[in-house]
Amino acid sequence: MSSWTLACSACGHPESQHAAVGLCPSCGQPFLAVFDGPAPTRDALLPRWDMWRYAPALPLADGEVPVSLGEGLTPLTEYPALARLVGVRRLWIKDEGVNPTASFKARGLSAAVTRARARGVPGLVVPTAGNAGAALAAYAAAAELPARIYAPETTPRPILDIIRAMGVDLVTIDGHIGDCGRLSVQYAQETGFFNVATLREPYRAEGNKTLGLELAEQLGWRLPDAIVYPTGGGEGVIGMWKSFHEMRAWGWLDASARLPLMIVAQASGCAPLVRAHAEGADRATPWENPWTYASGLRVPGPLGDRLVLKTLRDSGGDAESASEEEIRDYTARLAHHTGIDAAPEGGAALFVAAKLVRLGRLSADSEVVVYNTGSGASYRA
């Protein structure tokens, strides 16, 4: 379907798509996929109603059937009441809570498990703040592959229940996702299991490109002025930004189309990217004692820090945080105005949009898309 190689996102070190993926052997930074065949066209989109509609833009071999549970093609809905609340001209919510396993993580794991199965790996392992583990559990089950999942014992109960329901091997840890990450690396070395930790392999980012591909198609092949994304590891933002450049290069968007300002929302209890962006740094220093009940945002030392901060600079974007109180307040407002059972991460993003308008850092004339990345149901005790 498509033809690609891999290149280190920092030093450009090339690898074939068949190389053992992991971090770059020369500089330790993440690999990304580079499409090198003829440019895919919009006419080649498939008549199927999940994210593999965009297969021509994704890493999929000829005749290969992806590991899919019907992920993606999520609603994009405009809410004038939310636009008034935030103080912008137009505002849409893209609701990722309706994905299989109730978060956008389904997209990345569908793509990564598809590639892992094609390589014939013995199994999969992931460190997770919650939703990535639920998604891996489901896609590993769909692929009939074993999986080991490391999650903090403070992960919301409904998410741990989904993981257990899939019959995979769950290990809960007295620590945060960084601690889980170290255990996953070790386990992958011992077993040969494929480690699908955020940006430790290039294919979750590819699945997350569909967050952007879909958005463009839903808006009639154009993009909004600004996108607010609740960010932990950064894979959502990185995948989306990659998709915008590819669409422009492939002629899916006007060559002169201005790309959106990319805005990162974090929690005040764990905001390494907000801090680094404010300091103009190109790397983030790990956050001490990270805490937020928006567990998807509890990533103290993201591996993708360099790429996220570069995306913010290149897009003219911004980054801000929300306190626990502000997250609760705006999660409730999001639900009350829309009927979406929003995740706290979505509430954080909506709050950050309003905060930036109030601070004069986001124009009141903007058209803004806010991603609700998960479901409120996943967080109830």
Residue ranges in contact with ligand PLP by CB under 6 A: 103, 105, 131, 198, 230-236, 296, 343, 345, 373-374
Distance CA 372, CA 141 (A): 26
Q: How far is the CB of 126 from ligand PLP (least distance, A)?
A: 11
- Cβ of residue 236: shortest distance to ligand PLP, in angstroms? 4
User: Judged by CB, which is closer to ligand PLP: 212, or 296?
Assistant: 296
Q: Which is nearer to ligand PLP, 114 or 373 (CB)?
A: 373
Cβ-based nearer residue to ligand PLP, 45 or 173? 173
Burial pattern 240-272, b for ≥16 Cβ within 10 A else e, equals bbbbbebbbebebbeeeeebbbbbbbbbbbbbb
The 3-state DSSP class for residue 144 equals coil
Give the nearer residue to ligand PLP in terms of CB position, either 40 or 272: 272
Cβ proximity to ligand PLP: between 266 and 366 the closer is 266
- Helix then strand then coil, in percent of the chain rounded to 5, is 40, 15, 40
Tokens of 380: 């109830």
Cα angle 249, 254, 258; round to 5: 95
Minimum distance, C-beta of residue 322 to ligand PLP, in the bound complex (Å): 13
Query: Alpha carbon 25 to chain centroid distance?
Result: 24
Helix H or strand E segment including 91: strand 90-95
Q: CB burial class (10 A; 0-12, 13-18, 19+) of residue 171? A: middle
Region of 32 please: left (phi>0), alpha (psi -120 to 50) or beta: beta
Tell me the C-alpha distance between 54 and 287, whole Å. 36
Least Cβ distance, residue 303 to ligand PLP (angstroms): 10
**Strand 124-127 relative to strand 194-195, pairing:** parallel
Q: Which residue is nearest to ligand PLP (CB)?
A: 296
In whole angstroms, the minimum distance from the beta carbon of 277 to ligand PLP comes to 14
- The residue among 320 and 345 lying less far from ligand PLP, judged by its C-beta, is 345
- Residues 119 and 93: their CA atoms lie apart, in Å, by 36
Q: Report the nearest approach of ligand PLP to the CB of residue 208 (Å).
A: 7
Instruction: In angstroms, give the least distance from the CB of 108 to ligand PLP.
Output: 8
- Among candidates 251, 238, 243, which has minimal Cα distance to 215? 243
103 or 331: CB nearest ligand PLP: 103
User: Closest distance between ligand PLP and the C-beta of residue 54, in Å?
Assistant: 18
- How many other CB atoms are there within 10 angstroms of residue 320's CB atom? 25
* Residue 51 to residue 53: CA distance in whole angstroms: 5
217 Cβ neighbours under 8 A, 6+ residues apart = none
Structural contact between residues 368 and 226, judged by C-beta atoms closer than 8 angstroms = yes
| Residue whose CB is less far from ligand PLP, 123 or 234 | 234
Least separation, in Å, of the C-beta of 234 and ligand PLP? 5
Give the shortest CB-271-to-ligand PLP separation in angstroms: 13
Q: Name which of 315 and 373 has its Cβ closer to ligand PLP.
A: 373
